Amino acid sequence: MTEPSLRWGILGTGGIASVFAEDVLRLPGHEVAAVGSRSHATAAAFAERYGVPRAHGSYAGLAADDGVDVVYVATPHPMHFEPARLCVEAGRAVLVEKPFTTGAAEAEKLAALARERGVFAMEAMWTRFNPLVRRVRDLVAGGAIGDVTAVYADFSITAAFDAGHRLWSPELGGGALLDLGCYPLSFTWPLLGPPASVQATASPAPTGVDANTGILLGYESGAIALLHCGLLGDSPHGATVVGTRGRIDVASPFYRPASMTVVRTGGDPEVLTADIEGHGYTYQAEEVARCLRAGLTESPLMPLDETIAILRTIDEIAARSGQRPAEGATPQTPRQEPTDRGPSLR
């Protein structure tokens, strides 16, 4: 007997909601059953574009829709918590866009609620489920390159300055760290675990959010991670994992790689490739389906405790680079005052 389709609800109708809907619609055994927006007109337009049967003019309406198994929360980061809470309260599983929340405290609250209600919740850190990123994790765990000594990863883009855009607006959770820095951090985490030391420096945009951030993490093993995120220029979007017996070069973009090279000391480089489906978001949708069908309330590949721990490190990076105060962290770099000149590298 074939299993019933997984019925998705899409919450928020912006850029990534469309891309994710397109990927879900490629998958057998998945359907987009409903959409929720702040306005009925936007919900209806989205529903028409993607052939979605039900359009709700409020997030609460979608949360209460019993014809939905799992809600994908695709609002700006500061607006993740409240709609996700509504869904969990209604017993609806949630896949919440990255970063899960804007800080560890909110993530802890949402995770506690989901656990109390026995409801599935996961951060939509889609990179985790890419076949080659999973392979990096397995190769490292299997000792293919010895002990990891360093990870380098960068995600910096050229984003035209617009004080009202979510990337630049503090009210909409702007800044490179929350939007892009979460990728190199989440890539590094399964390879090295929690860092023993955190150093960071950031340049602010005129709006005060971080425009260019460098991160140096130290580990008890002696390993380091050197990470960069920014909004002021296109970086290579590469990642390299260095070990005592070789290294893995993940092709750009490391958050959606289609190839990587394993260089074992003294051996010939081995190139591994993968045909990436759609926009690259099908893998996380399939992981959600797998977990729900298995009765899991968390994904072992992206567990809530790891989401929380990464956000705790993000809080610390923000504090140490003078972006915002965080509990228990003492800023080491004085805050640079924003100027009205537009973003610049100083």
Ligand X SMILES: NC(=O)c1ccc[n+]([C@@H]2O[C@H](COP(=O)([O-])OP(=O)(O)OC[C@H]3O[C@@H](n4cnc5c(N)ncnc54)[C@H](OP(=O)(O)O)[C@@H]3O)[C@@H](O)[C@H]2O)c1
Q: Which residues bind ligand X (CB under 6 A)?
A: 12-17, 37-38, 42, 74-77, 79, 97-98, 124, 126, 166, 172, 179
Catalytic residue numbers?
98
Between 57 and 236, CB nearer to ligand X: 57
Tokens at 309, concatenated: 């721990």
Residue nearest to ligand X (CB): 14
| Residues near 36 by beta carbon (within 8 Å), at least 6 away in sequence | 9, 10, 11, 12, 43, 56, 57, 58, 59, 61, 62, 63, 65, 71, 83
Do residues 246 and 265 lie in contact, with contact meaning Cβ atoms separated by under 8 Å? Answer: yes
Number of Cα atoms under 13 Å in the Cβ half of residue 35: 28
- Amino acid identity at 330: T
Task: Give least dist CB 181 to ligand X, A.
Answer: 11
| Residues near 43 by beta carbon (within 8 Å), at least 6 away in sequence | 13, 35, 36, 37, 55, 56, 57
Q: How many residues does the chain have?
A: 346
Between 166 and 247, CB nearer to ligand X: 166
Report the 10 Å Cβ neighbour count for 309: 18
Report the 10 Å Cβ neighbour count for 204: 22
Number of Cα atoms under 13 Å in the Cβ half of residue 138: 8
Do residues 183 and 253 lie in contact, with contact meaning Cβ atoms separated by under 8 Å? Answer: no
